[in-house]
């Protein structure tokens, strides 16, 4: 999987940072988290193909995470897209989209499904054969959902040579073993899956937590994930401002990363008061709490 940061600024764009949006690319499919104004342009500057967007997840309805979605969907319509599109987000999202599209008299070329969640919602919002997405409320000034994209574990690779050595007849028995079932051969021998399968492949996971102040729920959502994308709006100079506006400092995010036992923290959503050098300094200090911090910047790609 690949994470592509499209916009890393909070509240307002700057000349070097766009508004919040992050793409997760998995086997060609694109999952877009938030869609601030300017996301379309950032997509064009990046390696991410807008035609491959599978679903869009909007965590909360603050403008810096939302105002790009109507424009992007309008462009998908002009592209004569045919594939259906899913949009997930808090209650109010559908009304926002409907108002935009009705105003412009936009009739879609494709099926748009908007799924809304009421305040406090937690649960599985998408469940596919190879992955699922869970949502959990964060702790922000308005209702805000965090998301966890989780690949399902895959059984180990079937070892053909071992199977032949064990004289297991080719055919449906192979399939049974691959699916974790134990089999009994005609000669009475019992073969268990671990005798022919390599080690199980653990699915990777990405937690996306924007916007929120430090919260136990975030730790829960991010539990042992491969990458935690967390807002880090402020530095140590603005702790009271972070508390007042229900945002996080870089150190808050580092604490979440440490307590959740994640592999990597990707910091994003920086206040426009900091330039790139200052953000790097803030991250250096937060490494006392959690070492593995990747400082986000627009168009940065992180392979996981
Ligand atoms: Zn924000
Ligand atoms: Zn916000």
11-32 confidence digits (pLDDT tens)? 999 999 999 999 999 999 999 9
Cα of 211 from ligand 2 centre, angstroms: 5
Give the confidence band of 89 by pLDDT, cuts at 50, 70, 90: very high
Place of tokens 């409320």: 137
pLDDT at res. 287 = 98
94's enclosing H/E stretch is helix 93-103
pLDDT at res. 208 = 98
- Could you tell me if 73 and 122 lie in one domain? yes
- Could you tell me if 166 and 108 lie in one domain? no
Q: Is 289:214 a contact under the CB 8 Å cutoff?
A: no
Residues in the chain: 304
Give the confidence band of 112 by pLDDT, cuts at 50, 70, 90: very high
Average pLDDT over residues 254-282: 98
- Could you tell me if 55 and 120 lie in one domain? yes
Which residues pair with residue 117 across a beta bridge?
A: 90
- Could you tell me if 227 and 292 lie in one domain? yes
Give the confidence band of 201 by pLDDT, cuts at 50, 70, 90: confident
Cα of 23 from ligand 1 centre, angstroms: 16
- Could you tell me if 23 and 146 lie in one domain? yes
Cα of 60 from ligand 2 centre, angstroms: 7
202-234 confidence digits (pLDDT tens)? 999 999 999 999 999 999 999 999 999 999 999
Q: Which ligand approaches the C-alpha of residue 145 most closely?
A: 2
Q: Which ligand approaches the C-alpha of residue 36 most closely?
A: 1
In 3D space, the residue among 122, 296, 137 whose CA is nearest the CA of residue 213 turns out to be 137
Q: Which ligand approaches the C-alpha of residue 269 most closely?
A: 1
Task: Give the CATH number, domain containing residue 39.
Answer: 3.60.15.10
In 3D space, the residue among 240, 304, 298 whose CA is nearest the CA of residue 10 turns out to be 298
243-267 confidence digits (pLDDT tens)? 999 999 999 999 999 999 999 999 9
- Could you tell me if 10 and 144 lie in one domain? yes
Q: Kindly report the CA angle at 227 between 225 and 112, in degrees rounded to 5?
A: 95
pLDDT at res. 155 = 83
Residue 177 buriedness (CB in 10 A; 0-12 / 13-18 / 19+): buried
Distance CA 207, CA 215 (A): 14
Looking at the 3D structure of the chain, how many domains does it have? 2
Domain that holds residue 42: 2-153+202-303
Cα of 134 from ligand 2 centre, angstroms: 20
Place of tokens 């009421």: 118
Query: By percentage, how much of the chain surpasses pLDDT 90?
Result: 96
- Whether the pLDDT of residue 200 is over 90: the answer is no
Higher-pLDDT residue of 258, 156: 258
Contacts of 194 (CB under 8 A, 6+ apart): none
- Could you tell me if 143 and 166 lie in one domain? no
- Could you tell me if 15 and 122 lie in one domain? yes
In 3D space, the residue among 260, 130, 251, 243 whose CA is nearest the CA of residue 207 turns out to be 260
Q: Which ligand approaches the C-alpha of residue 272 most closely?
A: 1
- Could you tell me if 113 and 261 lie in one domain? yes
Reported pTM? 0.92
Average pLDDT over residues 87-93: 98
- Could you tell me if 177 and 277 lie in one domain? no
Exposure string for 194-231, b = 16+ CB within 10 A, e = fewer:
eebbeeeeebbbbbbbbbbbbbebbbebbeebbbbbbb
- Whether the pLDDT of residue 188 is over 90: the answer is yes
- Could you tell me if 134 and 282 lie in one domain? yes
Residues involved in catalysis: 64
- Whether the pLDDT of residue 115 is over 90: the answer is yes
At residue 148, the 3 state secondary structure works out as strand
Cα of 157 from ligand 1 centre, angstroms: 43
Distance CA 265, CA 170 (A): 46
pLDDT at res. 180 = 86
Mean of pLDDT over the chain: 97
How would you classify residue 42: left for phi > 0, otherwise alpha for psi between -120 and 50, otherwise beta? alpha
- Could you tell me if 166 and 146 lie in one domain? no
Cα of 86 from ligand 2 centre, angstroms: 22
Q: How far is CA 253 from CA 207, 235, 267, in A?
A: 12, 11, 8
Which residues pair with residue 115 across a beta bridge?
A: 88
């Amino acid at each position: 999987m690949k994470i592509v940061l499209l916009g890393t600024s909070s509240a307002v764009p700057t000349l070097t940072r766009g508004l919040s949006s992050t793409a997760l690319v998995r086997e060609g499919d694109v999952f877009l988290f938030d869609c601030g104004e300017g996301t379309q342009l950032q997509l064009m500057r990046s390696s991410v193909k807008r035609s491959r967007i599978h679903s869009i997840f909007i965590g909360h309805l603050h403008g810096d995470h939302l105002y790009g979605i109507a424009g992007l969907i309008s462009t998908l319509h002009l592209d004569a897209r045919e594939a259906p599109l899913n949009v997930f987000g808090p209650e109010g999202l559908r009304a926002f989209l409907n108002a935009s599209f009705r105003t412009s008299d936009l009739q879609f070329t494709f099926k748009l499904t908007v799924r809304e969640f009421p305040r406090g919602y937690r649960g599985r919002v998408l469940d596919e054969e190879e992955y699922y997405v869970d949502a959990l409320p964060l702790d922000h000034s308005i209702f805000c959902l965090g998301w966890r994209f989780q690949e399902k574990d895959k059984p180990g690779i079937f070892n053909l040579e071992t199977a032949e050595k064990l004289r297991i007849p080719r055919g449906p028995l192979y399939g049974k073993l691959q699916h974790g079932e134990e089999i009994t051969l005609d000669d009475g021998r019992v073969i268990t899956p671990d005798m022919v399968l390599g080690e199980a492949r653990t699915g990777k996971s990405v937690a996306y937590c924007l916007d929120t102040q430090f919260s136990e729920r975030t730790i829960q959502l991010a539990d042992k994930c491969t990458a935690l994308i967390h807002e880090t709006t402020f530095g140590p100079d603005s702790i009271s401002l972070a508390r007042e506006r229900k945002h996080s400092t870089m150190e808050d995010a580092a604490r979440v990363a440490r307590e959740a036992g994640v592999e990597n923290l990707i910091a994003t959503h920086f206040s426009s008061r900091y330039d790139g050098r200052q953000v790097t300094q803030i991250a250096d200090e937060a490494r006392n709490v959690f070492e593995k911090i990747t400082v986000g910047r627009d168009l940065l790609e992180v392979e996981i």
